[in-house]
Amino acid sequence: MADEGEGSVAATSGLARRLCALALLAVSGGLLASACADNESSLFVRMRMARTGDCTVTCGADEPFWTEDTVDAAYAGSHSATLLVGNQIVQRGDPDVLRTETSRVHLYEAEVRVDDIEGNAVTEGYVVPVTGMIDPGTSSDAGYNCAEVLLLDGATMDNLRRRAASLGRDVQVVATVVVRGRTLGGQEVETAEWSYPIRVCFACSRCVDVSPATCCVSSASEECEDNDEVVGTCSGQRGPQDCRNLGQTCAAYIESVRRTL
């Protein structure tokens, strides 16, 4: 009876251990699921920063931002934007116990998908490298930093250039971005999908030929010295183009691009 009792106790202990293991697995699974769900709120894209003045960007939640980009595909081979990314992971560092801060996030890539306004894919999605380090927030305020993300890569722009030239009007698309990062503590985090509208046209910007037209090709002669500079606009906006930046007259340039379509 003693042996049976001991055997019974052993069996009960083994069962208890197994039950505890299952319980811990279930709990840890819940925690992992919770962590995955929290990842999309830990890191987030807030907005597309505006380029102002001399086309520079100032990163910050209170700085100017844009709600739509416009791109002339006749003059652009691709299109990037500066995105403000926020970090809401709580601070972990504590100088009193020599604990380093592990909640800073290093951004390393962005996944981009481009669809038309009806939701049809324009091209296959692609992954591009990004960089940036975001400090943890303080209290209820997130930490912020900017990341330059390629919203329209070369293949996508080629596709949209052909569409816009064929239709003779703007092509409206939506770039959807997921930014990924890694905390200094080794935790992978990513943003929820963030979508941004872009209008793409072909040769809709005003192009300026200087006088005489030969100055478009070369400005080395004296007769070209008095030509004023054409004030352009920042990337993401339509604006005037200077033929001297194209190396030929505006008409010749547009014709050369059309031949490639």
Residues 182-205 pLDDT 10s? 999 899 999 999 999 999 999 999
Together in a domain, 158 and 241: no
Together in a domain, 117 and 155: yes
Q: Which residues contact 246 (CB under 8 A, 6 or more apart)?
A: 75, 207, 216, 253
The answer to whether 236 and 243 are in contact (CB under 8 A) is no
Q: Is the pLDDT of residue 85 over 70?
A: yes
- Give this prediction's pTM: 0.80
31 within a domain of the structure (yes/no)? no
Band of pLDDT at residue 176, cut at 50, 70 and 90: very high
Sign of the dihedral defined by the CA atoms of residues 84, 110, 72, 173, in that order: negative
| Cα–Cα distance for residue pair 219/225, rounded to 1 Å | 7
State the CATH number of the domain containing residue 107: 2.60.40
Residues 9-57 pLDDT 10s? 343 344 344 444 444 334 344 433 334 434 567 999 999 999 988 899 9
Residue 61, domain extent: 43-201
Together in a domain, 56 and 122: yes
Closest of 243, 246, 236, 251 to residue 72, by C-alpha: 236
The answer to whether 48 and 65 are in contact (CB under 8 A) is yes
Last residue of some domain: 181, 201, 221?
Answer: 201
Together in a domain, 251 and 174: no
- Residues 225-235: what's their mean pLDDT? 89
Q: Which residues contact 196 (CB under 8 A, 6 or more apart)?
A: 48, 68, 69, 81, 151, 174, 175, 176, 177
